[in-house]
């Protein structure tokens, strides 16, 4: 059997691109075995087999004890199919790797160069390939460009990145210890009390993240608005009207506001002073993953997790560099001019790229953060070879324009403040305009700068106040987090990693601890938090989690040992879990009641229009075994209000009202069909309109015959 080099990648699409780049004819042969694809390439006289993983093929499992038991401190690394019911296909992938390893004489890890990718490759080499991790070399690349892949193959690192691997193992093992024990403790406490199973979870990062949200939720719920008054004036200048603000934005007494309005209404004011300021606005810094996620949410309302997924697809198509980076640096080695020249082939970027290429020197404005593994996110210069989806187009265009903008000149903006004096009262006109676009020219249409142009004015000039109004207002509570601002908060507090923060946020949604885009913490989320705060306060401590993060970072630098961190984690968990067990009955009752309320809340549609005291909810009849919408007073015999529902699929409240009749809507989801909205009001005008349309269509069909 001819010997070959086995190259391990993280995903099938990456394997195909690596094989194509390294094959001397760029036509590797695809082979599929047990449903597992791999590629055979030839480079010179050497045969290469490029085999992909499917993400993590190995995970952590407990070595003893049952699933309905805690605490668990003994674990080992094992194939995912051993631990996860839905991972049966992983067995075939591991078997194929084991078979391919037998005839290989060289091994190269080519997974993504980060914690996760390094760990994926290491586990395959150690467990599936028979302890080949020490003999393997490492390809390091930040893009899937042919030239970079060839260079990383010809000049590989002599061994795997064991410091990254050790850090990755530490994170996974610590997170497993906290997650499995605390989540199991919560879930079992509730199940043993109620007899019903419901998944509850928390963890090393999930707990502090929930703390941010609950703290904000309590501040909002406890907030008491206080009244204040604003005064605005409409002034006329050269036939045009402009809005001026009173010098005090918040007046606490209504009588004072009324006095100002009375003294200034329909009066002639005089321009007392004009302040004009010019200031430079520096170019933006390159995208790291967090900044990209924040900008995509602000512009397109894409959640951080969705943006990360889109960026991953763009990377696998060799359109951008590796996105899971914390760097805000663009090193010259990426060759700025070559990228701009390649981008100029696309008509939309031709003029902009040409303008930058005319500069004698290209120097990007950079941020302070660095990542030893990868530079900031940048376009490779490759143009799409397939039709991109609309979200992919938007994110790619955003990355391209951001890359060009960092090379732009500072923009120059001008602000003008005009003070108008009226009977010892002062109003202010504000104007702003862009004098020089600079970098903003390259970042359009993603500039959020609204200009307010004022006509030529001079001090001493008379201004007529056409209208002066008082606005009644109330102070507002602190704003709710959204997925983007929550991710930013996690970054600022130093909890989680660039690769895991978005998933933590999604977990809070999937556990029904939070809901809505402007995040609202559910009663279940608050009850889980209160339970943790009372019985396991360290688990929701931001300082504790941040300290663990810092310790784990020291593993990579060699200043801390993985074993010490694991011992500390076990020593911290043991007393917490012992105390938790002693109070399990009380905790279980609290959580069970919270789960029961949450399940009921999820089915409530709105107030009953007939009895007025009950609520419409999705109910199930034991007699007919059918579901329907009924009043909560239905089974009490106090109200007979009920409406039919489709029996197939799932139905849940949509929390929106019908535009035709104002009744609440229900979303129905059936397999193989798109979700649809149901208005269950039998007298809804839209149903009559739909009935008439159907009748007209039937009449038309009969007349055509």
Residues 6+ apart with CB under 8 A from 39: 15, 16, 18, 19, 20, 28, 29, 30, 31, 49, 50, 51
* Alpha-carbon distances of 68 from 175, 191, 200, 531, 579, rounded to whole Å: 19, 10, 14, 20, 18
Q: How far is it, in rounded angstroms, from Cα 82 to Cα 69?
A: 18
Helix, strand and coil in the chain, % to nearest 5:
40, 25, 35
Positions annotated as catalytic residues are 322
Residues 6+ apart with CB under 8 A from 371: 288, 325, 326, 327
CB distance 53 to 11 below 8 Å: yes
Tracing tokens 């992983």 back to the chain, one arrives at: 90
Tracing tokens 């991953």 back to the chain, one arrives at: 312
3-state DSSP of 647-670: CCCEEEEEEEECCCCCCEEEEEEC
Q: What residues does 632 pair with on adjacent strands?
A: none
Q: Phi and psi (nearest 5°) for 472? A: -85, 125
Tokens representing residue 105 in the block: 């004489």
Tokens representing residue 284 in the block: 């933006």
Q: How far is it, in rounded angstroms, from Cα 149 to Cα 155?
A: 10
CB count within 10 Å of CB 290 equals 22
Tracing tokens 């042919």 back to the chain, one arrives at: 146
* DSSP per-residue letters across 220-244: HHH----EEEEEEEEEEETTEEEEE
CB distance 204 to 179 below 8 Å: yes
Q: How far is it, in rounded angstroms, from Cα 230 to Cα 246?
A: 8
Q: How far is it, in rounded angstroms, from Cα 161 to Cα 137?
A: 9
DSSP element (H, E) containing 395? helix 390-405
> Angle at Cα 209 formed by Cα 207 and Cα 213, nearest 5°?
115
Tokens representing residue 72 in the block: 């668990």
> Angle at Cα 554 formed by Cα 549 and Cα 557, nearest 5°?
140
Q: Phi and psi (nearest 5°) for 125? A: -65, -35
Among 496, 469, 556, residue whose Cα is nearest residue 175: 496
Q: What residues does 180 pair with on adjacent strands?
A: none
Q: How far is it, in rounded angstroms, from Cα 272 to Cα 629?
A: 67
* DSSP per-residue letters across 106-145: EEEE-S-SSHHHHHHHHHIIIIITTS-TTT-EE---SS--
Tokens representing residue 318 in the block: 């060799």
* Alpha-carbon distances of 697 from 85, 689, 690, 701, rounded to whole Å: 50, 12, 11, 6
């Amino acid at each position: 059997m001819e010997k070959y080099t086995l190259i391990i990648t993280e995903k099938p699409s990456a394997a195909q691109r690596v094989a194509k780049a390294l094959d001397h004819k760029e036509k590797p042969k695809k082979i599929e075995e047990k449903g597992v694809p791999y590629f055979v390439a030839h480079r010179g006289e050497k045969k290469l087999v490029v085999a992909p993983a499917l993400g993590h093929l190995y995970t952590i499992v407990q070595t003893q004890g049952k699933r309905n038991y805690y605490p668990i401190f003994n674990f080992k690394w094992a194939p995912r199919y051993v631990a996860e019911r839905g991972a049966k296909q992983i067995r075939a992938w591991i078997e194929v790797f084991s078979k391919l390893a037998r005839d290989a004489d060289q091994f190269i890890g080519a997974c993504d160069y980060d914690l996760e990718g390094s760990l994926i490759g290491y586990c395959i080499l150690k467990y599936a390939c028979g302890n080949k991790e020490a003999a393997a070399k490492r390809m390091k690349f930040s893009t899937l460009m042919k030239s970079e892949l060839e260079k990383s193959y010809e000049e590989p690192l002599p061994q795997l990145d064991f410091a990254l691997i050790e850090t990755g193992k530490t994170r996974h093992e610590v997170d497993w210890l906290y997650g499995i024990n605390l989540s199991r403790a919560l879930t079992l406490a509730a199940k043993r009390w109620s007899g019903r199973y419901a998944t509850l979870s928390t963890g090393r990062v999930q707990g502090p993240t929930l703390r941010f949200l609950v703290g904000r939720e309590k501040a909002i719920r406890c907030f008491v608005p206080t009244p204040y008054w604003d005064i605005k004036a409409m002034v006329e200048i050269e036939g045009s009207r402009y809005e001026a603000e009173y010098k005090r934005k918040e007046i606490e007494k209504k009588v004072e506001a009324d006095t100002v309005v009375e003294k200034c209404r329909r009066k002639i004011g005089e321009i007392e002073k004009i302040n004009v300021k010019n200031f430079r606005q520096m170019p933006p810094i390159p995208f790291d993953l967090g900044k990209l996620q924040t900008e995509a949410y602000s512009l397109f309302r894409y959640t951080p997790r969705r943006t990360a997924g889109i960026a991953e697809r763009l990377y696998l198509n060799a359109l951008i560099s590796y996105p899971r980076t914390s760097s805000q640096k663009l090193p010259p080695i990426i060759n700025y001019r070559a990228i701009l020249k390649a981008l100029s082939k696309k008509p939309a970027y031709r003029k902009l790229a040409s303008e930058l290429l005319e500069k004698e020197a290209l120097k990007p404005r950079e941020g302070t953060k660095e990542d030893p593994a990868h530079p900031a996110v940048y376009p490779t210069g490759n143009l799409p070879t397939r039709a991109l989806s609309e979200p992919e187009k938007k994110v790619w265009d955003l990355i391209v324009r951001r890359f060009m903008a960092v090379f732009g000149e500072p923009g120059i903006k001008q602000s003008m403040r005009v003070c108008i004096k009226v009977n010892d009262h002062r109003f202010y006109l504000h104007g702003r305009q862009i004098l020089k676009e600079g970098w903003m020219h390259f970042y359009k249409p993603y500039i959020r700068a609204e200009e307010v142009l004022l006509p030529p004015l001079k001090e001493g000039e008379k201004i007529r106040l056409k209208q002066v109004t008082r606005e009644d207002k109330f102070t507002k509570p602190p704003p709710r987090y959204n997925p983007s601002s929550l991710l930013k908060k996690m970054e600022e507090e130093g909890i989680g990693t660039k690769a895991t923060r978005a998933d933590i946020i999604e977990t809070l949604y999937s556990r029904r601890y939070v809901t809505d885009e402007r995040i609202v913490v559910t009663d279940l989320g608050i009850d889980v938090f209160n339970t943790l705060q009372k019985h396991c306060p360290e688990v929701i401590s931001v300082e504790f989690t941040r300290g663990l993060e810092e310790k784990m970072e020291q593993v990579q630098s060699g200043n801390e040992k993985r074993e010490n961190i694991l011992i500390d984690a076990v020593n911290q968990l043991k007393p917490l879990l012992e105390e938790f067990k002693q109070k399990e009955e009380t905790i279980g009752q609290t959580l069970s009641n919270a789960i029961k309320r949450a399940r009921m809340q999820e089915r409530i549609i709105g107030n009953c229009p007939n009895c007025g005291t009950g609520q419409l909810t999705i109910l199930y009849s034991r007699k007919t075994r059918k579901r329907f919408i009924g009043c909560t007073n239905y089974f009490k015999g106090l109200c007979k209000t009920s409406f039919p529902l489709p029996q197939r699929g799932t139905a849940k409240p949509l929390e929106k009202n019908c535009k035709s009749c104002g009744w609440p809507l229900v979303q129905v989801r059936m397999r193989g069909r798109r979700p649809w909205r149901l208005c269950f009001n039998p007298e809804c005008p839209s149903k009559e309109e739909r009935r008439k349309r159907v009748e007209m269509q039937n009449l038309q069909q009969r007349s055509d015959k």
